[in-house]
């Protein structure tokens, strides 16, 4: 085995971590030198330019393979705080060093070997850091190191010579051979130097073997040198596409790689070597390389990469599966059965092809997508929705969503992202589903089951940015950021809020990638559309850090989006295109009129309503925003927003009880979901999920709260959501364009009209009771949906009283005649001024009351009677035993100690309503 240093990102011609010692061991002091300019993790940018506040975070390992951080220094426990023992010394120019003896620094027990160190640099607060590095140490007493060439495989020009230099740890008998011929030898030396001529043949592989003997110890190692090849130009065979092509069991690879000189296919078929037989042909336009690998064994997965310009190996950007040496070991066999073992000899992420694979058999072959104007979407993160984090388990949970009236599932990003634990907005491979959630057929099963249950699937896709492990980031990299000539990426983002590396969407190469990727998921996975992350970032108009400037109308951005939309609709004429845009209203309206949907953030408005404040809700209405079409997909919560229950808890106009908070969640939902237009629920909003977005870090794993379903009061909130969702997706009135969203003083009022049918929603968000004129659109019999009761409206402007948090969904059609038992009130209260119906023989005045109220009643006989005062949910607040005589009776009650609100005064079997103000 080759003895040399290697790094987690060892493709670079210059090592990010080096040592002053040629043969560093675990038992002698070594000097570690870091060059931060060569770090690849985007978080390392926060370390550049520092002259202090840089610390080593490290560990030691005693086995290979094995944990490089198994032993850690005493006191290294808090990543968010400085670790003084690991304080680095600045060498200037973003280089840092530290001296340490591994055995004593890491407290490795005597007798245990130290074969490697795990290393990274970080800022004192841990907010900036490099990637992890692994540095191999020399554990034996006899070793060699190649000084030149420094890599086990190098590229050189034909006709040149290579200066071969090697160093042994002891005086040795040394020989250097090539093709069985001894090139140089020495009987007694610790080093060797030789000038090796490569000859004039292009694309020839030269293997140099170095042997050394010292006493009874012997070593043998080799380096390979490839002369730059002469590339053959030849057209791509007819019918071939970018990526992997299967012609029967034959495999043809096609690699889109503009601005490159040559590419080799390397993999298990070549023992990870750039062999002449695997030099890829280039198309005449210089954009693509391709190779016919011939017939492959059916059903056998083969790992491969592309070796580009003799500088680095990358996985296929369009692979449908990757193997990741750093993360796959943490994926359980339950999640991904029989996952292919990472191949010996490979480095970094590799791609996989499989000829003759058994295709997924779709069970739902005919699916009609819901109209975009009435989508009821459920945004879901697989990681935080089910305990085992599997596509299959989500698929088996769709009955829960169906009861919510959900007709579209929006999956947060599932394309391969860095690591296994993520929201998914750090994409690296765009056509491979992330294995952390299961196999590709598991994902297809989920989509299939959604269609079976009448749900569309909208895929959250991240084509505004890519993380470092994306092949196109790595191929065009200047050491710290994408090159200025990158065909795909901007060296720096043109806008705020970019986290990783920003695509240039005016580039034809980026446009090619967007088109290939969006076509792939529609055709291969039968998804129904896309939600595009940070769509406002698809611009080359520079705005720097000026968020307001970024949001202004951008004609070039509009052009970019119309092009993408047209392409997607050319593949699938009804596919949804949903944008997270938040740009100027006229820009969003133009894109909406073109056919796209725009995310609409109603969080602030509905939070204020739930908190007890008066708030204008006109922005929830697409009409009031000036949109011609119902193109705004509004939501109260999304993955980016704080939970509504947290907002009600922390920002209420008063301190609400647990029950009051749940009632306010119901009120907010009824007010929101009855406004026509597409709507979205963020997972568990229907249960009043109250774990802050910032728990365990903003994007960190959040606890499951399925036990909420077993809580009787939270279950009522869930059922309110279920009722609203079912109504929205089943009643035509929710697609009407004849509707208004307004207020009656503090009371919210939504009115929907379709033909002779009406739906009126009245909700009081205030913390005090409100008396309003309901403004019924017609008189006659009306129905209170949640109580199932009917009542007669005699006057359109009949006054009514609403308790704090009280809401009603009223229709002139009998949608429901059963008390659902989900809200603590019945039909609207029209009896607020002491005017009773004929069947009531109890009179109360003055009403509303401030201090004292007089109660009059009629009795049929002389006796004692019980007078009770109960609140709107039936709780007794006062009881008195009173004498009564046959005929008229009267008493007075003090209301000074009774909280404001609606009450019932009961005498025998009669009652009257009382409002205390």
Three-state SS at 308: strand
Same domain? For 592 and 629 the reply is no
8-state DSSP, 236: P
Distance CA(68)–CA(70), nearest Å, equals 6
Confidence class for position 15, pLDDT limits 50, 70, 90 = low
Return the pLDDT at 874.
Answer: 64
- Nearest partner of 490 among 505, 512, 475, 469, judged by Cα: 505
Distance CA(108)–CA(114), nearest Å, equals 8
Confidence class for position 873, pLDDT limits 50, 70, 90 = low
- For residue 683, being part of any structural domain is answered with no
Same domain? For 752 and 793 the reply is yes
Return the pLDDT at 485.
Answer: 96
Same domain? For 502 and 589 the reply is yes
- Nearest partner of 236 among 310, 308, 287, judged by Cα: 287
Same domain? For 310 and 291 the reply is yes
For the ranges 469-473, 597-601, 742-746, which has the lowest average pLDDT?
Answer: 742-746
Same domain? For 607 and 469 the reply is no
Residue ending a domain, choose from 301, 322, 355: 355
On whether the CB atoms of residues 898 and 878 are closer than 8 A, the answer is: yes
Same domain? For 316 and 338 the reply is yes
- For residue 703, being part of any structural domain is answered with no
Distance CA(742)–CA(760), nearest Å, equals 11
- Inform me whether the pLDDT recorded for 6 exceeds 70: no
Average pLDDT over residues 297-321: 96
Q: How many domains does the chain have?
A: 6
Confidence class for position 1, pLDDT limits 50, 70, 90 = very low
Average pLDDT over residues 344-370: 95
For the ranges 399-408, 545-554, 862-871, which has the lowest average pLDDT?
Answer: 862-871
Average pLDDT over residues 594-601: 97
Distance CA(264)–CA(275), nearest Å, equals 8
Residue ending a domain, choose from 580, 600, 620: 600
Q: What pTM did the predictor assign?
A: 0.81
Confidence class for position 9, pLDDT limits 50, 70, 90 = very low
| CATH number of the structural domain spanning residue 151 | 2.60.40.10
Q: How does pLDDT run across 704-762, given as a tens digit for each residue? A: 999 999 999 999 999 999 999 999 999 999 999 999 999 888 999 999 999 999 999 99
Distance CA(289)–CA(264), nearest Å, equals 9
Return the pLDDT at 540.
Answer: 95
- Inform me whether the pLDDT recorded for 11 exceeds 70: no
Confidence class for position 44, pLDDT limits 50, 70, 90 = confident
Q: How does pLDDT run across 641-662, given as a tens digit for each residue? A: 999 999 999 999 999 999 999 9
Residue 591 phi, psi (nearest 5):
-70, -35
Residue ending a domain, choose from 568, 600, 632: 600
Q: How does pLDDT run across 231-280, given as a tens digit for each residue? A: 999 999 999 999 999 999 999 999 999 999 999 999 999 999 899 999 99
What does the block give as tokens for 72? 């850690």
Q: How does pLDDT run across 433-445, given as a tens digit for each residue? A: 999 999 999 999 9
Distance CA(706)–CA(387), nearest Å, equals 10
What does the block give as tokens for 653? 């106009």
What does the block give as tokens for 150? 């420094």
What does the block give as tokens for 414? 């599932």
Q: How does pLDDT run across 612-649, given as a tens digit for each residue? A: 998 999 999 999 999 999 999 999 999 999 999 999 99
Same domain? For 169 and 52 the reply is no
- For residue 11, being part of any structural domain is answered with no
Distance CA(473)–CA(487), nearest Å, equals 10
| CATH number of the structural domain spanning residue 625 | 2.60.40.1180
| CATH number of the structural domain spanning residue 58 | 2.60.40
- Inform me whether the pLDDT recorded for 838 exceeds 70: no
Q: How does pLDDT run across 50-70, given as a tens digit for each residue? A: 999 999 999 999 998 889 999
Residues linked to residue 747 through DSSP beta bridges, in sequence order: 744
- For residue 449, being part of any structural domain is answered with yes
Three-state SS at 774: coil
- For residue 346, being part of any structural domain is answered with yes
Look up tokens 């709107």; give the residue.
Answer: 872
Average pLDDT over residues 592-609: 96
| CATH number of the structural domain spanning residue 460 | 3.20.20.80
- Inform me whether the pLDDT recorded for 834 exceeds 70: no
Q: What is the domain range of residue 61?
A: 17-136
Q: How does pLDDT run across 360-401, given as a tens digit for each residue? A: 999 999 999 999 999 999 999 999 999 999 999 999 999 999
On whether the CB atoms of residues 534 and 466 are closer than 8 A, the answer is: no
Same domain? For 584 and 608 the reply is no
- For residue 546, being part of any structural domain is answered with yes
- For residue 5, being part of any structural domain is answered with no
Residues linked to residue 844 through DSSP beta bridges, in sequence order: 855
Same domain? For 750 and 661 the reply is yes
Q: How does pLDDT run across 661-703, given as a tens digit for each residue? A: 999 999 999 999 999 999 999 999 999 999 999 999 999 999 9
Return the pLDDT at 745.
Answer: 85
- For residue 6, being part of any structural domain is answered with no
Same domain? For 817 and 878 the reply is no
Same domain? For 594 and 607 the reply is no
Task: Please give the full DSSP string across 506-568, using - where no structure is assigned.
Answer: TSHHHHHHHHHHHHHHHHHS---EEEETTGGG---S--TT-HHHHHS--HHHHHHHHHHHHHH
Same domain? For 281 and 426 the reply is no
């Amino acid at each position: 085995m080759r003895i040399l240093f290697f790094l987690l990102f060892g493709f670079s011609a210059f090592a990010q971590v080096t040592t002053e010692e040629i043969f560093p061991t675990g038992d002698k002091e070594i000097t570690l030198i870091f060059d931060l300019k060569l770090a690849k993790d985007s978080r390392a940018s926060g370390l550049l330019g520092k002259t202090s506040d840089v610390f080593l975070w490290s560990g030691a390992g005693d086995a290979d393979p094995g944990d490089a951080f198994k032993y850690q220094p005493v006191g290294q426990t808090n990543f968010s705080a400085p670790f003084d023992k690991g304080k680095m010394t600045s060498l200037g120019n973003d280089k840092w060093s530290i001296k340490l003896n591994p055995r004593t620094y890491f407290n490795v027990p005597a007798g245990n070997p130290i074969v490697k160190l795990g290393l990274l640099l970080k800022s004192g607060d841990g907010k900036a850091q490099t990637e992890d590095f692994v540095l191999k140490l020399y554990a034996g007493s006899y070793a060699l190191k190649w000084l030149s060439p420094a890599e086990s495989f190098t590229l050189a020009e034909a006709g040149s010579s290579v200066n071969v230099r090697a160093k042994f740890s002891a005086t040795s008998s040394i020989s250097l051979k090539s093709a069985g011929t001894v090139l140089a030898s020495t009987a007694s030396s610790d080093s060797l130097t030789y000038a090796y001529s490569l000859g004039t043949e292009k694309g020839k592989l030269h293997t140099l073997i170095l042997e050394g003997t010292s006493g009874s110890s012997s070593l043998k190692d080799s380096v390979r040198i490839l002369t730059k090849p002469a590339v053959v130009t030849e057209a791509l065979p007819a019918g071939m596409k970018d990526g992997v092509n299967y012609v029967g069991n034959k495999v043809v690879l096609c690699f889109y790689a503009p601005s490159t000189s040559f590419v080799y296919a390397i993999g298990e078929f070549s023992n990870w070597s750039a062999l002449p037989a695997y030099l890829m042909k280039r198309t005449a336009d210089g954009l693509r390389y391709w190779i016919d690998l011939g017939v492959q064994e059916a059903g056998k997965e083969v790992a491969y990469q592309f070796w580009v310009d003799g500088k680095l190996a990358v996985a296929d950007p369009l692979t449908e599966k990757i193997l990741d040496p750093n993360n796959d070991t943490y994926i359980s066999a339950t999640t991904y059965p029989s996952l292919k073992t990472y191949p010996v000899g490979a480095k970094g992420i590799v791609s996989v092809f499989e000829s003759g694979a058994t295709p997924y058999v779709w069970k739902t072959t005919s699916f009609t997508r819901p109209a975009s104007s009435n989508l009821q979407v459920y945004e879901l993160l697989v990681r935080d929705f089910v305990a085992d984090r599997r596509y299959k388990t989500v698929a088996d949970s769709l009955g829960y969503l169906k009861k919510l009236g959900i007709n579209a599932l929006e999956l947060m990003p599932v394309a391969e992202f860095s690591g296994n634990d993520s929201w998914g907005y750090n994409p690296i491979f765009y056509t491979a589903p992330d294995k952390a959630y299961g196999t590709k057929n598991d994902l297809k099963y989920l989509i299939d089951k959604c269609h079976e249950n009448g749900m569309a699937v909208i895929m959250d896709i991240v084509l505004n940015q890519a993380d470092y492990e994306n092949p196109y980031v790595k191929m065009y990299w200047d050491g710290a950021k994408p090159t200025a000539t990158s065909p795909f990426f901007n060296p720096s983002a043109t806008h705020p809020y970019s986290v990783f590396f920003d695509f240039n969407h005016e580039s034809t190469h980026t446009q090619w990638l967007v088109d290939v990727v969006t076509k792939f998921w529609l055709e291969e996975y039968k998804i129904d559309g896309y939600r595009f992350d940070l769509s406002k970032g698809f611009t080359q108009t520079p705005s720097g850090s000026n968020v307001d400037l970024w949001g202004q109308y951008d004609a070039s951005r509009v052009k970019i989006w119309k092009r993408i939309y047209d392409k997607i609709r050319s593949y699938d004429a009804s596919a949804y295109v949903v944008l997270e845009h938040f740009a100027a209203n006229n820009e969003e309206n133009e894109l909406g009129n073109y056919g796209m949907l725009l995310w609409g953030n109603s969080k602030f408005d509905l939070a204020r309503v739930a908190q007890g404040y008066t708030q204008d809700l006109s922005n929830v209405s697409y009409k009031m925003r000036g949109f011609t079409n119902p193109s705004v997909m509004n939501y109260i919560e999304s993955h980016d927003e704080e939970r509504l229950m947290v907002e009600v808890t922390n920002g209420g106009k008063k301190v609400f009880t647990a029950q009051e908070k749940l009632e306010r969640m119901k009120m907010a939902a009824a007010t929101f979901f009855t406004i026509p237009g597409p709507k979205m629920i963020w997972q568990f909003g229907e249960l009043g999920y109250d774990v802050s977005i910032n728990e365990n870090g903003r994007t960190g794993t959040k606890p499951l709260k399925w036990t909420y379903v077993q809580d009787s009061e939270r279950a009522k909130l869930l059922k309110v959501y279920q009722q609203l969702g079912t109504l929205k997706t089943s009643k035509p009135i929710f697609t009407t364009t004849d509707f208004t969203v307004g207020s009656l003083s503090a009371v919210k009022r939504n009115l929907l009209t379709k033909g002779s049918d009406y739906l009126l929603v009245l909700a009081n968000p205030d913390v005090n009771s409100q008396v309003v004129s309901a403004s019924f659109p017609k008189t006659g019999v009306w129905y209170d949906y949640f109580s199932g009761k009917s009542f007669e409206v005699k006057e359109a402007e009949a006054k009514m009283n609403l308790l704090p948090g009280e809401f009603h969904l009223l229709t002139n059609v009998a949608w429901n005649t059963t008390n659902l038992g989900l809200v603590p009130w019945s039909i609207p209260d029209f009896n607020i001024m002491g005017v009773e119906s004929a069947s009531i023989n109890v009179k109360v005045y003055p009403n509303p009351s401030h201090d004292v109220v007089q109660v009059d009643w009629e009795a049929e006989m002389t006796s004692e009677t019980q007078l009770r005062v109960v609140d709107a949910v039936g709780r007794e607040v006062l009881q008195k035993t009173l004498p009564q005589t046959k005929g008229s009776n009267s008493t007075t009650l003090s209301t000074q100690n009774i909280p404001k609100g609606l009450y019932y005064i009961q005498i025998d079997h009669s009652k009257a309503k009382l409002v205390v103000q």
